[in-house]
């Protein structure tokens, strides 16, 4: 079985049209048609997205053969390639958990300093430690997920999200200086920038959930 025939079978098994495959890979329908008729082959940067779309390994896609178990080699579970929708759902979970940690950290900081009158140094150290853990969780997640080519709609949403975050950042900066110069509480007002980050993560979560809902429909 040649590559085009294999690609055709995989597409039919997923009940996808050439237009749907083309949209997911950010190519034209004619390009997918040429792949299936062996008039051309996918560029290197399309191999992994194809494997992720059809949930198979690169060897099976390129040769049509599934990896065989070597003699004496223990049976291993086949690694599952996560789809874009699954990764997006995981990202939404990680971001929402981090947002909750940020909120609890900010609430704990305000409660400890303003109401319980605890040592500001100890409260700040604990606050930064919790914030650091939440941030490390976010960084680790986004460093471990593969990169996908964005569709035109996703690129548009990213631009909108950047504009919203820029506006929020500017507003928080103005509020920071106004509150700081008014109260002279510079040792506390820096928390406004943490709140800015919290709002930005919330905006990101909103767009993630919106994209996930769109995919489901």
DSSP codes of every residue in the chain: --HHHHHHHHHHHTT--HHHHHHHHTS-HHHHHHHHTTSS---HHHHHHHHHHHT--HHHHHHS-PPPPPTTPPP-PPPPPPPHHHHHHHHHHHHHHHHHHHHHHHHHHHIIIIIS---HHHHHHHHHHHHHHHHHHHHHHHHHSPP-PPPHHHHHHHHHHHHHHHHHHHHHHHHHHHHHHHH--HHHHTHHHHHHHHHHHHHHHHHHHHHHHHHH-
For residue 96, what are the domain limits? Answer: 84-216
Same domain, 94 and 32: no
Q: Could you tell me if 185 and 120 lie in one domain?
A: yes
Q: Which pLDDT tens digits describe the chain residue by residue (217 residues)?
A: 677 888 888 888 888 899 988 888 888 989 988 888 888 888 877 888 888 888 888 777 776 666 555 444 444 444 455 566 777 778 888 888 888 888 898 888 888 877 888 888 888 888 888 888 888 888 887 777 766 666 677 788 888 888 988 898 899 899 999 988 998 888 778 888 888 888 888 888 887 777 766 655 5
CATH code of the domain covering residue 34: 1.10.260.40
Quote the radius of gyration of the chain (alpha carbons, Å). 24
94 and 128 co-located in one domain: yes
Length of the chain: 217
At 100, list the tokens: 């909750």
The pTM score is 0.49
Judge whether 79 lies within some domain.
no
Domain shared by 203 and 105, yes or no? yes
- Residues 30, 136: one domain? no
């Amino acid at each position: 079985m040649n590559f085009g025939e294999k690609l055709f079978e995989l597409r039919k098994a997923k009940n996808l049209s050439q237009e749907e495959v083309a949209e997911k890979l950010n190519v034209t329908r004619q390009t997918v048609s040429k792949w299936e008729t062996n008039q051309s082959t996918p560029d290197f940067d399309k191999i992994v997205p194809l494997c992720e779309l059809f949930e198979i390994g690169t060897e099976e896609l390129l040769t049509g053969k599934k990896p065989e178990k070597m003699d004496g080699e223990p049976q291993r579970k086949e690694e599952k390639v996560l789809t874009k929708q699954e990764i997006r759902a995981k990202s939404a979970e990680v971001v929402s958990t981090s947002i909750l940690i940020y909120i609890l950290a900010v609430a704990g900081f305000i409660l400890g300093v303003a109401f319980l009158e605890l040592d500001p140094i100890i409260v700040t150290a604990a606050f930064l430690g919790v914030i650091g853990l939440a941030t490390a969780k976010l960084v680790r997640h986004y460093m471990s997920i593969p990169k996908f080519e964005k569709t035109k709609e996703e690129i548009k949403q990213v631009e909108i999200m950047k504009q919203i975050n820029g506006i929020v950042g500017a507003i928080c900066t103005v509020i920071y200086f106004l509150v700081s110069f008014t109260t002279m509480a510079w040792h506390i007002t820096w928390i406004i920038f943490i709140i800015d980050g919290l709002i930005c993560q919330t905006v990101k979560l909103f767009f993630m959930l919106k994209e996930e809902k769109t995919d489901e429909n």
